[in-house]
Protein backbone atom coordinates (compact mmCIF):
# COMPACT_ATOMS: atom_id res chain seq x y z
CA UNK A 1 0.00 0.00 0.00
CA UNK A 2 1.16 3.50 -0.84
CA UNK A 3 1.89 5.65 2.21
CA UNK A 4 2.11 8.94 0.30
CA UNK A 5 -1.20 10.69 -0.36
CA UNK A 6 -2.17 10.95 -4.01
CA UNK A 7 -2.59 14.61 -4.95
CA UNK A 8 -4.53 15.67 -8.04
CA UNK A 9 -4.84 19.38 -8.80
CA UNK A 10 -7.55 21.12 -10.81
CA UNK A 11 -6.97 24.80 -11.62
CA UNK A 12 -8.84 27.17 -13.87
CA UNK A 13 -10.92 30.35 -14.07
CA UNK A 14 -14.40 30.94 -12.59
CA UNK A 15 -17.10 28.74 -14.10
CA UNK A 16 -14.71 26.42 -15.93
CA UNK A 17 -16.39 23.51 -14.14
CA UNK A 18 -13.56 22.87 -11.67
CA UNK A 19 -15.54 22.34 -8.50
CA UNK A 20 -18.21 20.09 -10.03
CA UNK A 21 -15.76 17.82 -11.80
CA UNK A 22 -13.16 17.86 -9.01
CA UNK A 23 -15.83 16.71 -6.54
CA UNK A 24 -17.08 13.99 -8.90
CA UNK A 25 -13.53 12.82 -9.66
CA UNK A 26 -12.71 12.66 -5.94
CA UNK A 27 -15.82 10.53 -5.34
CA UNK A 28 -14.98 8.20 -8.17
CA UNK A 29 -11.41 7.74 -6.93
CA UNK A 30 -12.36 7.45 -3.24
CA UNK A 31 -10.34 10.56 -2.39
CA UNK A 32 -11.23 13.73 -0.44
CA UNK A 33 -12.18 16.92 -2.21
CA UNK A 34 -10.47 20.19 -1.27
CA UNK A 35 -12.34 23.37 -2.26
CA UNK A 36 -9.72 26.09 -1.73
CA UNK A 37 -12.00 28.78 -3.16
CA UNK A 38 -14.20 28.27 -0.07
CA UNK A 39 -11.26 29.25 2.14
CA UNK A 40 -10.58 32.47 0.22
CA UNK A 41 -14.31 33.23 0.19
CA UNK A 42 -14.57 32.66 3.96
CA UNK A 43 -11.67 35.02 4.72
CA UNK A 44 -13.07 37.63 2.31
CA UNK A 45 -16.52 37.34 3.92
CA UNK A 46 -15.05 37.81 7.40
CA UNK A 47 -12.77 40.75 6.57
CA UNK A 48 -15.41 42.50 4.49
CA UNK A 49 -18.00 42.08 7.27
CA UNK A 50 -15.59 43.56 9.78
CA UNK A 51 -14.89 46.58 7.57
CA UNK A 52 -11.26 45.61 6.98
CA UNK A 53 -10.16 46.79 3.54
CA UNK A 54 -8.16 44.74 1.07
CA UNK A 55 -4.84 46.48 1.71
CA UNK A 56 -1.72 45.17 3.40
CA UNK A 57 -0.94 46.79 6.77
CA UNK A 58 -1.17 46.44 10.51
CA UNK A 59 -4.97 46.26 10.62
CA UNK A 60 -5.02 43.34 8.19
CA UNK A 61 -2.08 41.58 9.89
CA UNK A 62 -3.80 41.77 13.29
CA UNK A 63 -7.13 40.60 11.90
CA UNK A 64 -5.52 37.61 10.17
CA UNK A 65 -3.56 36.68 13.29
CA UNK A 66 -6.73 36.65 15.37
CA UNK A 67 -8.73 34.74 12.76
CA UNK A 68 -9.38 31.02 13.21
CA UNK A 69 -10.40 29.22 10.04
CA UNK A 70 -11.18 25.52 9.74
CA UNK A 71 -12.33 23.25 6.98
CA UNK A 72 -14.19 20.02 7.64
CA UNK A 73 -16.99 17.74 6.48
CA UNK A 74 -19.55 20.34 7.65
CA UNK A 75 -17.94 23.05 5.51
CA UNK A 76 -15.83 26.08 6.32
CA UNK A 77 -15.90 27.91 9.66
CA UNK A 78 -14.43 31.31 10.54
CA UNK A 79 -14.26 32.41 14.15
CA UNK A 80 -16.36 29.34 15.05
CA UNK A 81 -19.22 30.24 12.65
CA UNK A 82 -20.12 27.94 9.80
CA UNK A 83 -20.17 30.29 6.79
CA UNK A 84 -20.48 27.66 4.03
CA UNK A 85 -23.75 28.98 2.62
CA UNK A 86 -22.99 32.68 3.21
CA UNK A 87 -19.85 32.74 1.08
CA UNK A 88 -21.62 32.13 -2.27
CA UNK A 89 -23.29 35.56 -2.28
CA UNK A 90 -22.86 38.15 -5.07
CA UNK A 91 -21.28 40.39 -2.42
CA UNK A 92 -18.50 37.87 -1.76
CA UNK A 93 -18.14 37.22 -5.53
CA UNK A 94 -17.47 40.94 -5.89
CA UNK A 95 -14.73 41.25 -3.25
CA UNK A 96 -13.04 37.84 -2.95
CA UNK A 97 -10.41 38.39 -5.68
CA UNK A 98 -9.21 41.63 -4.07
CA UNK A 99 -8.58 39.86 -0.74
CA UNK A 100 -7.13 36.77 -2.47
CA UNK A 101 -4.52 38.96 -4.19
CA UNK A 102 -2.98 39.94 -0.83
CA UNK A 103 0.22 38.04 0.06
CA UNK A 104 -0.63 37.91 3.79
CA UNK A 105 -4.03 36.32 3.05
CA UNK A 106 -2.38 33.70 0.83
CA UNK A 107 0.29 33.00 3.47
CA UNK A 108 -2.42 32.46 6.08
CA UNK A 109 -3.96 29.69 3.95
CA UNK A 110 -0.88 27.93 2.59
CA UNK A 111 -0.22 25.45 5.42
CA UNK A 112 -3.89 24.84 6.06
CA UNK A 113 -4.30 23.75 2.43
CA UNK A 114 -1.22 21.53 2.48
CA UNK A 115 -2.36 19.83 5.70
CA UNK A 116 -5.49 18.60 3.90
CA UNK A 117 -3.39 16.23 1.77
CA UNK A 118 -4.01 13.11 3.84
CA UNK A 119 -4.21 9.44 2.83
CA UNK A 120 -5.43 8.06 0.55
CA UNK A 121 -5.31 11.43 -1.21
CA UNK A 122 -7.12 14.54 -2.42
CA UNK A 123 -8.44 16.28 -5.47
CA UNK A 124 -7.77 19.99 -4.87
CA UNK A 125 -9.35 22.77 -6.89
CA UNK A 126 -8.38 26.43 -7.09
CA UNK A 127 -6.17 28.87 -8.94
CA UNK A 128 -2.66 27.95 -7.73
CA UNK A 129 -2.94 24.29 -6.78
CA UNK A 130 -0.52 22.95 -9.39
CA UNK A 131 1.78 25.98 -9.38
CA UNK A 132 2.25 26.90 -5.70
CA UNK A 133 0.39 24.77 -3.16
CA UNK A 134 1.05 21.28 -4.57
CA UNK A 135 3.81 21.70 -7.18
CA UNK A 136 4.72 17.99 -6.88
CA UNK A 137 1.16 16.71 -7.48
CA UNK A 138 0.93 13.41 -9.38
CA UNK A 139 -1.60 14.72 -11.84
CA UNK A 140 -2.39 18.33 -12.78
CA UNK A 141 -5.36 19.57 -14.77
CA UNK A 142 -6.14 23.03 -16.12
CA UNK A 143 -9.76 23.54 -17.10
CA UNK A 144 -10.90 26.30 -19.43
CA UNK A 145 -14.11 27.31 -21.23
CA UNK A 146 -15.22 30.41 -23.12
CA UNK A 147 -16.37 33.35 -20.94
CA UNK A 148 -19.87 33.03 -22.46
CA UNK A 149 -20.21 29.34 -21.52
CA UNK A 150 -18.80 30.02 -18.06
CA UNK A 151 -21.33 32.82 -17.60
CA UNK A 152 -24.23 30.62 -18.72
CA UNK A 153 -23.21 27.96 -16.18
CA UNK A 154 -22.92 30.50 -13.36
CA UNK A 155 -26.29 32.14 -14.22
CA UNK A 156 -27.96 28.70 -14.17
CA UNK A 157 -26.37 27.91 -10.79
CA UNK A 158 -27.52 31.22 -9.26
CA UNK A 159 -31.06 30.91 -10.67
CA UNK A 160 -31.31 27.35 -9.36
CA UNK A 161 -30.71 28.78 -5.90
CA UNK A 162 -33.81 30.92 -6.46
CA UNK A 163 -31.91 34.20 -6.88
CA UNK A 164 -32.32 36.67 -9.73
CA UNK A 165 -29.36 37.83 -11.78
CA UNK A 166 -28.69 39.21 -15.25
CA UNK A 167 -26.40 37.52 -17.78
CA UNK A 168 -24.50 40.76 -18.38
CA UNK A 169 -23.89 41.35 -14.68
CA UNK A 170 -22.45 37.83 -14.24
CA UNK A 171 -20.31 38.09 -17.41
CA UNK A 172 -18.77 41.35 -16.20
CA UNK A 173 -18.15 39.90 -12.72
CA UNK A 174 -16.43 36.83 -14.17
CA UNK A 175 -14.25 38.94 -16.50
CA UNK A 176 -13.20 41.21 -13.64
CA UNK A 177 -12.40 38.27 -11.34
CA UNK A 178 -10.38 36.56 -14.12
CA UNK A 179 -8.45 39.78 -14.65
CA UNK A 180 -7.56 40.27 -10.98
CA UNK A 181 -6.75 36.55 -10.47
CA UNK A 182 -4.44 36.42 -13.52
CA UNK A 183 -2.72 39.78 -13.09
CA UNK A 184 -1.90 39.60 -9.36
CA UNK A 185 1.79 39.31 -8.43
CA UNK A 186 1.33 36.54 -5.85
CA UNK A 187 0.34 33.07 -7.14
CA UNK A 188 -1.51 34.29 -10.24
CA UNK A 189 -3.87 32.03 -12.16
CA UNK A 190 -1.62 30.22 -14.68
CA UNK A 191 -1.61 26.91 -16.49
CA UNK A 192 0.81 24.83 -14.38
CA UNK A 193 3.78 23.22 -16.11
CA UNK A 194 3.12 19.57 -16.92
CA UNK A 195 -0.62 20.08 -16.60
CA UNK A 196 -3.22 18.80 -18.98
CA UNK A 197 -5.53 21.48 -20.36
CA UNK A 198 -9.13 20.51 -21.01
CA UNK A 199 -11.52 22.88 -22.78
CA UNK A 200 -14.84 21.96 -21.17
CA UNK A 201 -16.92 24.30 -23.39
CA UNK A 202 -18.65 21.61 -25.42
CA UNK A 203 -18.37 18.79 -22.90
CA UNK A 204 -20.77 17.37 -20.33
CA UNK A 205 -19.66 16.93 -16.70
CA UNK A 206 -19.58 13.16 -17.17
CA UNK A 207 -17.37 13.47 -20.27
CA UNK A 208 -14.88 15.68 -18.45
CA UNK A 209 -14.78 13.44 -15.36
CA UNK A 210 -14.33 10.28 -17.46
CA UNK A 211 -11.50 11.86 -19.42
CA UNK A 212 -9.76 12.94 -16.20
CA UNK A 213 -10.33 9.54 -14.58
CA UNK A 214 -8.68 7.76 -17.54
CA UNK A 215 -5.68 10.08 -17.35
CA UNK A 216 -5.28 9.58 -13.59
CA UNK A 217 -5.66 5.82 -14.01
CA UNK A 218 -2.82 5.85 -16.56
CA UNK A 219 -0.53 7.97 -14.45
CA UNK A 220 -0.98 6.18 -11.14
CA UNK A 221 -1.88 2.74 -12.54
CA UNK A 222 -5.17 2.25 -10.68
Residue 100 makes contact with ligand CDP by CB under 6 A: yes
Please, which residue, 79 or 103, has the CB nearer to ligand CDP?
103
Could you say which of 8, 25, 33, 41 contacts ligand CDP (CB under 6 A)? 41
Q: Least separation, in Å, of the C-beta of 167 and ligand CDP? A: 16
Residue 36 makes contact with ligand CDP by CB under 6 A: yes
Interacting positions 180-219 with ligand CDP (CB under 6 A)? 181
Please, which residue, 6 or 128, has the CB nearer to ligand CDP?
128
Please, which residue, 36 or 200, has the CB nearer to ligand CDP?
36
Does residue 105 contact residue 43 with C-beta atoms inside 8 Å? yes
**CA 124 from chain center: how many Å?**
8
Please, which residue, 1 or 185, has the CB nearer to ligand CDP?
185
Q: Stretches 14-22, 25-33, 45-53, 191-199: which one binds ligand CDP (CB under 6 A)? A: 14-22
Q: Stretches 62-70, 94-102, 164-172, 194-202: which one binds ligand CDP (CB under 6 A)? A: 94-102
CB count in 10 Å sphere of residue 153: 19
Query: Which positions from 127 to 166 touch ligand CDP by CB under 6 A, shown as an x/- string?
Result: xx--------------------------------------
Nearest to 89 by CA among 55, 42, 152, 149: 42
Could you say which of 17, 37, 121, 192 contacts ligand CDP (CB under 6 A)? 37
Could you say which of 8, 34, 40, 78 contacts ligand CDP (CB under 6 A)? 40
**Could you list the residues that contact ligand CDP (CB under 6 A)?**
14, 18-19, 36-37, 40-41, 96-97, 100, 126-128, 177, 181
Amino acid sequence: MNDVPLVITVDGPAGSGKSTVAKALANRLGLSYLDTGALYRAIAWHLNNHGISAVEGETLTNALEALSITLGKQGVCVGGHNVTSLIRSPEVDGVVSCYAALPSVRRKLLDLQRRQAILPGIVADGRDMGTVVFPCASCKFFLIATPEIRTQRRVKEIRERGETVSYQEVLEGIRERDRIDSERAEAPLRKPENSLEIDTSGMSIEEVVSRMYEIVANVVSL
